[in-house]
Amino acid sequence: MTSTLAQEKIELSHRIDPVDLAPVRILPETAEQPAISPAALDNIGRYWQELISDYQLPGAAIGVVQGDGLVYELCVGKRNVRENEPIDADTLFNFGEATLAFTTLLAATADLPANPIYDRRATTVSQLFRMTDARAQQNCRIRDLLTMTAGAPPYTDEILDPLWAQPEDVFALLGQAPVMSPPGERYRASQISATIGGYLVAMAIGNQRRNIYSNYIDVAQEHLMTPLGMTRATFSSRTAKEKGNVAVGHSPADFGYNPAYVEEPERNPLAPLLGLKMSLREATCWLQTELNQGIAPSGKRIAPNVSVRERWQPAAAQNTDHRGLGWTRIYHAETEVILASGQYGEQSATIGFYPAYRTGFIVLTNAGGGDAERLIQAVALGLAETLKDSRQRSPAPSVASESVTK
């Protein structure tokens, strides 16, 4: 079946200007939500399952979410190809840099119109924040750090080793690095920048004098994970193992994939950027909250809708790569898609949605590399085309579910 794959158009379609600041197009709350028919979901789901088989991926969990919950679920393969434990909706995966979008939602939960967390000067939140340029240090906002437009050089990401570093080392590294451009002016990929922005968010909400890492974890638990009903999600590799049902990362082999040896720190110093472990079921709760603009699955509002939507918008800076506050805007089949993706520990995760359709998707796989990326692209493009072609206006369908073990 691999011969058919080359004929499939699954590449990203970037039909936007280098700096795209057009407002995100959102389905009005009073508008009827377009529903995807069960037949269409089953059809596209079979195609996704075929791709997973053709790519010989060890396993994957895919979900399609509309306002009221999961409307399609596909769990395929094994957590570890050398064991006979199937992936299901409760299997924990590494979310990698998609964690940053979770961290910015944390900021939105405590955002106040009169004093937005995003626009607070970093120096007013913590004395740990330092930059080598005095003017840049004074002007740098939490927004600049989270959008990676603070002027931090990308090479600093290669200096810090998460296995031995502490959060304080992340702050110290930025304080010793040259400033490449004034804050808010130009995008440069920087894990250090985004991580510091995340820690500052938690300090602004919680206790600035507490341990940096513990404060972030406690604030995330109190303001997001507990309100969203996330009982298995964790930032701790040890806790994940204790909970069980954890996906193992895999790397390519001559025939398919083999389990990869990945050494993860117990307390990842880059936790606000890439430390989250979450299941498909819990990611659905997160995505529902995004689609409902700050209203959790319980019906309780946890963040202002304006603050939630602001995170989706690309940063107002040069060379933003269409990134905003943890999210990236692209277009599939001329349909606007808001995405957060990450690869970490030979695992891949993407959470994305189509604001004009109030519909989203989650793709989790326990493999990294090109095949995982192609699967994610195929899901995003295929669902965009399905939504665009759909003319139904009936209520959202009930959950369609498949669980397959290879």
DSSP structure string for 27-74: --TTSPPP---HHHHHHHHHHHHHHHHHTT-SEEEEEEEETTEEEEEE
Nearest Cα to 393, choosing from 28, 34, 27?
34
Q: What pTM, to 2 d.p., does this model score?
A: 0.90
Q: What is the pLDDT of residue 15?
A: 34
201-229 pLDDT, tens per residue? 999 999 777 799 999 999 999 999 999 99
pLDDT at 392 over 60: no
How many percent of the chain have pLDDT more than 70? 90
Say what the pLDDT of residue 18 is. Answer: 43
The one-letter amino acid at 285? C
- The gap from C-alpha 217 to its chain's centroid, in whole angstroms, comes to 17
CATH of domain 2-106+234-404: 3.40.710.10
What is the per-residue pLDDT for 21?
62
Nearest C-alpha neighbor of 81 from the set 244, 247, 240:
247
Question: Mean per-residue pLDDT for 366-372?
Answer: 94
Both tokens of 127, joined, read 């004395």
Per the structure block, which two tokens stand in for 306?
């304006």
Rounded to whole angstroms, the Cα distance separating 264 from 216 reads 19
The residue that leads in pLDDT, 91 or 19, is: 91
Token pair of 78 as six digits: 């094994």
- pLDDT, tens digit, 9 for 90 and up, residues 283-306: 999 999 999 999 999 999 999 999
- pLDDT of 7 higher than 70: no
Contact 288, 69 (CB under 8 A): yes
Supply the mean pLDDT for the chain: 89
What Cα–Cα distance (Å) separates residue 9 from each residue in 116, 241, 333, 374? 41, 39, 10, 10
Q: Locate 272 and state its tokens.
A: 């606000």
Domain ranges of the chain: 2-106+234-404, 113-221
Give the residue from 350, 129, 381, 162 showing the smallest Cα distance to 262.
Answer: 162
Q: Write the single-letter amino acid at 155.
A: Y
> Any idea which of 56-60, 261-265, 277-281, 387-391 has the lowest mean pLDDT?
387-391
pLDDT tens column, 252-277: 998 889 999 889 999 999 999 999 99
What are φ and ψ of residue 355, in 5° steps?
Answer: -60, -25
Instruction: With H, G, I as helix, E, B as strand and everything else as coil, classify residue 405.
Output: coil
CA distance 75 to 72: 10
